[in-house]
Chains A and B, each alone.
Chain A
């Protein structure tokens, strides 16, 4: 069967006839994939970093009075009722003092003159959470302040909140660049295809008279869209990978990137972006085919 070779040859013919526009389209598709994938890569890495940081979030409730063994279950229940908690640690004045001297290590002499009772007792609450619950953290902290004898709640979530805002902003950017991607792919591919169809209008008419089947006329055009999607996203992702590699090698010493363990997309995401681009570009060409071809 020479079917496939014919379809491919027709596709090649189409591409050659409008190669200038084809290249521009490819460039547009490549750039929009690059743009989207760039923001998406940062976003996913931020999410991962946030998750890891979020695991270490704890709320410290400083108290003006020691908590006795008998009071603990009631407090634990009260806190647990408000929100899911990983664990609750009660820290007495003595324990706080011991911790501090352990932290100071050799410098612990400075504590010698101090009353071991000078540090307040506290409750450390480790909530079950991830970054998305950041607003819950502040609610939680407000709640903890209402506990009896609580004087101050330190959530350390201030900068986490800022981090969260940034991630939210990034999500908007990802969303926008994703929309741009969808628009540019479907519209531009379908526009290019329209040019192909127009430039071959008389030929398509003749082909119809000669008995060309729907597949003979339409498949090459569909393939053209698929090819744009495949090549465009491959180039876009390859460009991003190169960019990532060069950044990664420049900042390979312990620093920001190591802290966040900046990573490229896993294979599934790469495949998904590739596939989505192919689907979108094919949809764009399908749109043009249905509108401009009557066979």
Chain B
């Protein structure tokens, strides 16, 4: 994506954030991180490094043990429950464990995200069809998600996260079960959201193939600490070829 689309306005600002799961698992320690509006950011790190925890903190699924998190300039700890719900409508999250409803169809699972925003039936149908085409799932539209393969479920989770054209998309391990061709579809979806709708995109992954060649910012977590990833010189990465 064009670098100049990134603003200097942080969308997410974490200040000295520590998350300790009871009794004493320090998943994140003293993390300070700014994610700018319109940015695509890769969050990397070994298994257990704290990637999922950071994403859960950003969407209020967990609260930090200490430290402060601002999203769009608002301190998350001060937002009312109703405010959090409103905020969640603008944040798309593709969970590592998908969190789909197995007994509902692909279409139903995706449209649910738009229904809570009271979108019109027509808008929902069009958007879902569009996403299914982009992710090569059109023939699975009316299948129960429980009957799909892991890779297909993963894409349904992504489609649901992208449905509302969110201003922030948090994707936790979005390509873990995908082959190279399908991974490209996912990356294309991210790029499309980012370029067409200015969405900020955070991708937590240990799939080096998707960030190895990228010109986007990469931050690495290890054992709950943030370590600056050596910045690569912007190259025309294989996966980001226009």
Q: List A residues at the B interface (Cβ < 8 Å).
A: 1-3, 6, 202-203, 206-214, 216, 295
Contacts and interface: CB of A to CB of B under 8 A. Distances in A.
B86 interface: yes
Interface string B7-43: 0000000000000000000000000000000000000
B86 A213 contact: yes
Secondary structure at the A interface, as helix, strand, loop or mixed, is: helix
A202 B97 CA distance: 14
A98 B118 CA distance: 88
Interface stretch (B108-116, B190-198, B230-238): B108-116
B2 interface: no
Contacts, number: 49
A207 B120 CA distance: 17
Nearest to B120: A2
A43 B227 CA distance: 82
Contact of A214 (B85, B90, B121): B85
A120 B121 CA distance: 91
A34 B32 CA distance: 67
Interface in B80-111: 81-82, 85-91, 93, 99-101, 104
A209 B81 contact: no
B81 A211 contact: no
Contact of B101 (A3, A202, A213): A202
Given A213-B85, A295-B81, A295-B85, A206 B118 contact: no
A206 B87 contact: no
A26 B119 CA distance: 32
A295 B85 CA distance: 9
Interface of B: 61, 81-82, 85-91, 93, 99-101, 104, 112-113, 115-121, 160
Contacts of A214: 81-82, 85
A209 B88 contact: yes
Nearest to B87: A211
Nearest to B163: A210
A210 B99 CA distance: 11
18 contacts: A1-B118, A2-B119, A2-B120, A2-B121, A6-B118, A202-B101, A206-B99, A206-B112, A207-B112, A209-B88, A209-B93, A209-B99, A210-B88, A210-B112, A211-B86, A211-B89, A213-B85, A216-B116
Contacts of A213: 82, 85-86, 116
